[in-house]
Structure 1
Amino acid sequence: MGPVRIVIVDDDALVRSALRLMLDGADGIEVVAEAGDGAEVPDVLAAHPADVVLMDLRMPRTDGIAATREMRRRRDSPAVVVLTTFDTQAEVEGALAAGAAGYLLKDAPPQRIAAAVKAAAAGEPVLAPQVARQLMDAAAASGSARERARAALATLTPRERDVAEGIGRGESNAQIGRELHLSVPTVKAYASSVLDKLDLDSRTQVALLVQQAR
């Protein structure tokens, strides 16, 4: 396996330079390109295929949510990890609904950002602790959301539900496989079936649905 290829999208050139300096020096990560606005992302990815896009939210022409939504419509699009200074509920929910695999704040330590990039490339959800708590609190406050989440999960087979619960705990395919005595390819197949049945775009969305159902 080669390094995780990432594209950094941020309208602040100093932020892009700092992230490149930080992440290019991390083991197993290669920064292949940068973009200064969400509108540039399609052309940048066409020229520089990537595994993960590190996406800012507030940009002058096309914001990170719109850019993520457009990119995730493409087949085999890279995972998106939002990296921003903003954590309002509307922005968090908007980014995850658009298909982002993770949501981090810019005050996260370098090792946390590097670990998030690798996790997203492996298909694992990544949320800043304060963002995860915010979403859990919002879900707990909404009984109707809980009922909708439970109804959606009820459409899954027992084994699909087991896999969804593992995703909800933030476990990797390998961890889920060990717990359920399944091979990693079999877990991946169940995870894909869960996404299809629930009409979701990412494991992060599955994890949030599982949290909402509790």
Structure 2
Amino acid sequence: MHSSDGVPVLRVVVVDDEELMRSGLQIILGSAPDIDVVATCDGPDARATVTRHRPDVVLLDIQVPGIDGLAVLAQLRALTPPPVVAMLTAFASDDFVHTALHQGAAGYLLKDTDPEQLLWEVRALASGGRPLSSSVAPSIIDGYLAHSTGTKGAAHAVDALSPREQRALTLLGHGLTNTQIAERLQLSPSTVKDHLSALMTKLGCDNRVQAAVIAERAGLLDRPRDRA
């Protein structure tokens, strides 16, 4: 779907038990010309609503009356094709975060996120990003660090990347989106997406968080982001 001026429009469904929160998110997201909140609903209606509207992105609260938000996540991920689902919640419990990501959530965002940042994160979700609120990211990184490639192994893995792939990995590790990385490297977003896909395959990573951990272990994040 495109807007009147030809800009691609991202279709979003908001699932939350509070009508006021649903209305507020609809106003915030709808303020962007490239985002259209096609429906809002509570948890029990989520599967039917998403099936009917086929959104690009679903923002889902983790605690909704009548049904567990994680159960809703499982229902939505079982659809064919499954939508991109990110948790948008007030709860930052490590258990919630790890369980949601393990069950297929593409991101974990908190409701106190700055509105402008939320718009960027929805766009990142639609383009394959996996955004995490800054307050929950450390626990995810720590969890992967405890079970992932050691420093020597990470450095060896990174050495196998091309210089451009190493720069892209560094920027990814600093939390930049594909669009922001493309701007920094003066490449098209599609080229950056290809670079990231290739480097993650070389590193044996399933997602951006694992790649960021390897970047940290290899020392790529020791230099400031503006010199990456």
- Verify: 1:101 aligned to 2:106, yes or no: yes
- Verify: 1:23 aligned to 2:29, yes or no: yes
CA RMSD of aligned residues (A): 3.5
TM-score (norm 2): 0.70
Could you say what secondary structure the match of 1:5 adopts? strand
Mark the runs of 5 or more structure 1 residues left unpaired by the alignment.
none
Offset at 1:84?
0.8
Given that 2:8 and 2:34 are in contact with CA atoms closer than 8 Å, whether structure 1 keeps it comes out as yes
Offset at 1:20?
1.6
Match of 2:122 among 117, 120, 123: 117
Match of 1:131 among 117, 128, 136: 136
Given that 2:161 and 2:199 are in contact with CA atoms closer than 8 Å, whether structure 1 keeps it comes out as no
Partner Cα separation in structure 2 for residue 93 and residue 5 of structure 1: 26
Q: Percent identity?
A: 33
Could you say what secondary structure the match of 1:54 adopts? strand
Corresponding residue pairs, total: 209
Partner Cα separation in structure 2 for residue 12 and residue 117 of structure 1: 20
Structure 1 residues 98-117: Cα deviation after superposition (integer angstroms, max 9, x where no partner)? 23232222122322322321
Structure 1 residues 80-133: Cα deviation after superposition (integer angstroms, max 9, x where no partner)? 232111101111112222232322221223223223212222323322221123
**Alignment partner, residue 33 of structure 1:** 39
Offset at 1:175?
4.6
TM-score (norm 1): 0.74
Q: Judging changes above 3 Å, is the alpha-carbon distance between structure 1 residues 36 and 172 closer, same or farther for their aligned structure 2 residues?
A: same
1:66 maps to amino acid: A
**Alignment partner, residue 158 of structure 1:** 161
**Alignment partner, residue 72 of structure 2:** 67
Offset at 1:206?
4.4
Partner Cα separation in structure 2 for residue 158 and residue 183 of structure 1: 20
Given that 1:120 and 1:126 are in contact with CA atoms closer than 8 Å, whether structure 2 keeps it comes out as yes
